[in-house]
Amino acid sequence: MEALELQQTYQDLTTAHVADAALRLGVPLRCAPATVRPLWDGVHLVGRARPARHYGSVDVFLEALERAAPGEVLVVDNAGRADESCVGDLMALEARQAGLGGIVIWGLHRDTAELRAIGLPVFSQGALPAGPQRLDPQEPEALTSARVGEHLVTADDVVLADDDGVLFVPLARAADLAAAAAAIRDTERRQAARMRLGTGLRAQVAFADYLAARDLHGATFRQHLRAIGGAIEE
């Protein structure tokens, strides 16, 4: 998928929808640590990953932007360090001018007020005034992969991020995941609408029937939901 197609396909899908779709399709679920949060509420970010590992200097980010295409998301690996910030207002401005969709940092940022004024979506583990005081040797993988928590992210991944956090999915499965996520979204919306009209969730999912099937056959709730077309856990 190209950048515009990703935007159009995922514009009305949340990270929760896509996470449930990954579970349904057997796609490994890769989420950034829960500490990686947006700088403001109401952000919805989707784009192909542009990885970069930080070694104490912004030159690696500038080189990543040289290679980047509009709509991509800069994924910064600073190993989750809590002793330095690695992205500030100038880098956010440069990323915006390069047409990037946003920045995800496994680490800290600074210049919070300026970043909010710039308006480019930024997700990080928090803010710290102090920048880096080191300059480490750059690895060969500096611009080909970034680690975010326990997960390795490459240019073959799509970044999806919103108020619930950050999710990484394989570009090769993006269309399949979007279709499954849209089906889950639509089912949940129908269920919510019926609840507002007075039909509770237990009635909608025939919960009494599930309890009987569980006691008789050992059926799981997920198996029951699949059989009736419900959507709660996936």
Confirm or deny that 56 is annotated as ligand binding: no
Neighbouring-strand partners of residue 30: 168
User: Which residues on neighbouring strands pair with residue 47, listed in sequence order?
Assistant: 159
Is residue 195 part of an annotated ligand binding site?
Answer: no
- Which among 34, 67, 26, 42 is positioned nearest to 154, based on CA atoms? 67
Residue 89 among known ligand-binding residues = yes
- DSSP notation for the chain: --HHHHHHHHTT--HHHHHHHHHHHTPPPEE--TT-EESSSS--EEEEEEEEE-SSSTHHHHHHHHH--TT-EEEEE-TT-SS-EEE-HHHHHHHHHTT--EEEEESEE--HHHHHHH---EEES-B-S------PPPPTTTTTEEEETTEEEETTEEEEEETTEEEEEEGGGHHHHHHHHHHHHHHHHHHHHHHHTT--HHHHTTHHHHHHHHHHH---HHHHHHHHT--S--
| Rounded Cα gap, residues 64 and 76, in angstroms | 10
88 annotated to a ligand binding site: yes
Q: Which residues are annotated as a binding site for substrate?
A: 88-91, 110
Q: Which residues are annotated as a binding site for Mg(2+)?
A: 111
Q: Which residues are annotated as a binding site?
A: 88-91, 110-111
